[in-house]
């Protein structure tokens, strides 16, 4: 009899709907626990499963209430309106506490997403350090100074004229600033729009050249904790830069999609276009695809036992791969099928095979 699966999720969230659809009619017995219930009473997670069952704690998603509950758990005492950029430090602290409580109440369940790996991958600096230790090719990254002036001084000392400034905690392109300068002129490209000093999330890129506006953007992001990543030019398709999201499931390449952007930030939710990875990498020669795959597998190997990892990887204009980030919950890739299965179907198939389950450490 295959083990069952307990899923902590946000009911009705796009991820929950996709996972539920993949599980419908399958051999795996899936039981659902709402994130809100898990926060209120962590022991209900353990009560939902039997010894030997799997536990998948899914992304809290974009649910405003869950975000605030986690951030308050991490010491945040304010409120962030829907649509506004949400700082991540307190949220990450609350997430760590919540995941610890869930684990403590469910010691008999085997995690598909081990807590330590989730927390490392949601911390861009810790993730970078883990990848470096694993010998994975990555752009140089350092912790951002706490003020725009100190940031500019550090970037100048590093001899850089273009960097990405990214919120240290969280995922997606929210709050990411692509910053470059030429002499006294500066430019920032970001999915954040400014509204009376507030950063609003947007699904399109904005360009700022006014020093005052750039200072507001930098101040908001670095004050909560950020990283500075070397800006390595991305290879392009018809003049548009691209990178790839590669999903590694149980140590194997499961799904891939190229993301062709309208600017330097290429997340799909920013209206980047999907493209065939083999097609966009073909101009760089036969060795490029294996090199990209090797970099992604090496990145995933830094997090043993984490059964599905979304790896963001780019190639430079010479076709050399660099892993940009790893995503603990980077498996939402709607419409991409392998043997007729989407990303969740691939994972559920693996969990339902006892022999394979026994080979993958929890």
Indicate if the pLDDT at residue 357 is higher than 50. Answer: no
Q: What is the pLDDT of residues 104-114, one digit of tens each?
A: 999 999 999 99
pLDDT at 361: 34
- Per-residue HEC secondary structure of 70-106 comes to HHHHCCCCCCCCCCECCCCHHHHHHHHHHHHHHHHHC
CB 131 within 8 A of CB 138: yes
The backbone torsions φ and ψ at residue 193, rounded to the nearest 5 degrees and listed phi first, read: -105, 150
pLDDT at 202: 83
Class of domain 234-331: alpha beta
Domain ranges of the chain: 5-111+353-359, 141-229, 234-331
**pTM for this structure?**
0.95
How many residues are listed for the chain in this entry? 362
Indicate if the pLDDT at residue 358 is higher than 70. Answer: no
Indicate if the pLDDT at residue 349 is higher than 80. Answer: yes
Q: What is the pLDDT of residues 184-213, one digit of tens each?
A: 899 999 999 999 889 998 878 999 999 999
Indicate if the pLDDT at residue 25 is higher than 80. Answer: no
DSSP per residue, 10-36? -TT-HHHHHHHHHHTT-SS-EEEEEHH
Nearest partner of 167 among 116, 223, 210, judged by Cα: 223
Indicate if the pLDDT at residue 356 is higher than 50. Answer: no
pLDDT at 1: 64
**Range name among 19-23, 158-162, 348-352 with the lowest pLDDT average:** 348-352
Name every residue whose Cβ is closer than 8 Å to that of residue 176 and which is 6 or more positions away in sequence.
164, 165, 166, 167, 190, 191, 265
Indicate if the pLDDT at residue 14 is higher than 80. Answer: yes
Bin 131: left if φ > 0, else alpha if -120 < ψ < 50, else beta. alpha
- Range 339-348 average pLDDT: 93
Nearest partner of 78 among 60, 91, 95, 63, judged by Cα: 91
Indicate if the pLDDT at residue 270 is higher than 80. Answer: no
DSSP per residue, 149-164? HHHHHHHHHTT-SEEE
pLDDT at 3: 85
The band of 353, judged by pLDDT with boundaries at 50, 70 and 90, is low
CA distance 151 to 333: 35
């Amino acid at each position: 009899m295959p083990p069952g699966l307990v899923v902590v999720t946000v009911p009705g969230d796009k991820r929950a709907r996709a996972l539920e659809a993949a599980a419908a009619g399958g051999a795996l017995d899936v039981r659902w626990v709402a994130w809100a219930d898990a926060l209120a009473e962590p022991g209900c997670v353990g009560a939902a499963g039997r010894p030997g069952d799997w536990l998948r704690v899914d992304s809290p998603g974009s649910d405003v209430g869950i975000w605030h509950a986690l951030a308050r758990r991490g010491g945040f005492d304010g409120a962030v309106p829907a649509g506004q950029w949400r700082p991540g430090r307190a949220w990450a602290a609350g997430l760590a506490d919540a995941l610890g409580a869930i684990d403590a109440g469910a010691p008999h369940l085997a995690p598909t997403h081990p807590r330590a790996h989730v927390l490392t991958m949601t911390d861009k600096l810790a993730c970078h350090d883990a990848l470096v230790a694993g010998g994975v090719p990555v752009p140089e990254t350092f912790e951002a100074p706490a003020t725009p002036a100190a940031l500019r001084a550090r970037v100048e000392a590093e001899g850089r004229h273009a960097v990405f400034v990214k919120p240290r905690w969280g995922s997606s392109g929210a709050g990411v600033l692509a910053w470059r300068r030429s002499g006294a002129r500066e430019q920032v490209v970001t999915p954040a729009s400014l509204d009376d000093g507030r950063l609003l999330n947007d699904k399109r890129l904005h360009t700022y050249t006014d020093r005052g506006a750039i200072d507001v953007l930098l101040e908001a992001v670095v004050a909560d904790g950020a990283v500075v990543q070397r800006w390595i030019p991305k290879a392009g398709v018809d003049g548009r830069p691209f990178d790839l999201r590669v999903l590694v499931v149980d140590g194997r390449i499961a799904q891939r999609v190229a993301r062709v952007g309208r600017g330097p930030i290429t997340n799909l939710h920013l209206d980047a276009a999907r493209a065939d990875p083999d097609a966009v990498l073909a101009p760089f020669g036969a060795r490029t695809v294996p090199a990209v795959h090797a970099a992604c597998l090496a990145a995933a190997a830094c997090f043993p036992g984490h059964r599905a990892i979304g790896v963001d990887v780019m190639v430079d204009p010479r076709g050399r791969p660099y892993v940009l980030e790893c995503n603990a919950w980077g498996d939402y890739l709607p419409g991409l099928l392998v043997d007729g299965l989407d990303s969740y179907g691939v994972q559920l198939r693996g969990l339902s095979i006892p022999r394979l389950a026994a080979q993958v450490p929890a």
